[in-house]
Amino acid sequence: MSTIRQQIITVLENGDHDVREISQLLGIREKEVYGHMTHIEKTLSAQGKKLILTPASCVECGYAFKRRSRPERPGKCPRCKSERITNPRFSVG
């Protein structure tokens, strides 16, 4: 049986997903997925692979959070102050 992190890596190798999709596929909480992402990035780096992050964006004005280093979804848009933010998406490259 594989670990949760190995299962997340397998899911990400098969396409890009947001944290909600990963949590539903594996039956774990979204918070747990966020907690594993930093470690997964290090594991992939050691394997010569890369964790690709498609940044979160504002639904209202389209602002993309490109410089954000944390994997969590931001609370609100700095441009228009909307709280309608898409989740960042992850994949393996």
CATH at residue 76: 1.10.10
Long-range contacts of 72-77 (CB under 8 A, 24+ apart): 72/34, 73/19
Please state the pTM of the whole predicted model.
Answer: 0.85
For residues 78 and 6, give the distance between their C-alpha atoms in angstroms, rounded to a whole number.
35
Classified as helix, coil or strand, 91 is strand
- The tens digit of pLDDT for each residue in 29-73 reads 999 999 999 899 999 999 999 999 999 999 999 999 998 878 888
Range of the domain at 25: 4-92
Contact 61, 77 (CB under 8 A): yes
Top pLDDT among 1 and 29 is at: 29
Q: How far apart are the first and last CA of the chain?
A: 24
The pLDDT, as a whole number, for residue 71 is 82
Dihedral of CA 79/81/85/91: which sign?
positive
Domain count, the chain: 1
- The tens digit of pLDDT for each residue in 73-91 reads 899 999 999 999 999 999 9
